[in-house]
Chain A
């Protein structure tokens, strides 16, 4: 099992460009999450999903959109990137809320 995978690993964008980050899990988990990690801020939840076809806002959703068309995939979109979105993005999945969250290796995004 690959667990949770994320693509790409690293990306540089110019302000105003768009991109999609892909998260895939092969554990048949219902719950999937997108976090951003910034120095001194810990892990902040952007959006999450409690099952295929569902999405919900987390703590810092502005400027991001998500989709969960397939149970195994959770996409994070940036429609118009801003320098404030420079961060490391982590995807995670779990079988239930109060069970282990399995994290991907992260995507480092730099917005110039």
Chain B
């Protein structure tokens, strides 16, 4: 089955700096890669996703890049703000399967 590794487990950045979280996956058939944000006391919420037919996707201050050859994908947050502080999860799935496999999460702290 799919295995998703996520690094780092914790990340602290100064407000205004950029944050990068990286994930690797094992199943070369995986073709869907979402990122979820979990705020304290709440359930995860999708913030961006990418499919294997593109290498990069942006939505305002967040972007995701995908390297299919190396089997890794990354979340980039620019101009970080205190409200970006949360736990972020990457995930992967393949279209013929029926479930997502999540990474172990990254706790991001943005220092004012």
Contacts and interface: CB of A to CB of B under 8 A. Distances in A.
* Chains A and B bind each other: yes
Interface of A: 4, 31, 33, 35, 40-45, 48, 50, 56, 58-59, 90, 92, 97-98, 100-101, 103-106
Given A104-B43, A106-B43, A58 B99 contact: yes
Contacts of A40: 9, 104
Given A42-B105, A43-B89, A43-B102, A97 B43 contact: no
Interface string B9-41: 100000000000000000000011010100001
B62 interface: no
10 contacts: A33-B99, A41-B104, A43-B102, A48-B98, A97-B93, A98-B51, A98-B95, A104-B43, A106-B41, A106-B43
Q: Report the 4 A-B pairs with minimum CB-CB distance, sorted nearest first.
A: A103-B43, A42-B104, A98-B32, A43-B102
A40 B46 CA distance: 20
A11 B9 CA distance: 29
B86 interface: no
Nearest to B97: A97
A79 to B, nearest CB: 23
B69 to A, nearest CB: 21
B98 A50 contact: yes
Given A56-B98, A98-B31, A106-B42, 16 more contacts: A4-B43, A40-B9, A42-B6, A42-B89, A42-B103, A43-B102, A43-B105, A45-B99, A59-B101, A98-B51, A101-B44, A103-B44, A104-B43, A105-B42, A105-B43, A106-B41
B100 interface: yes
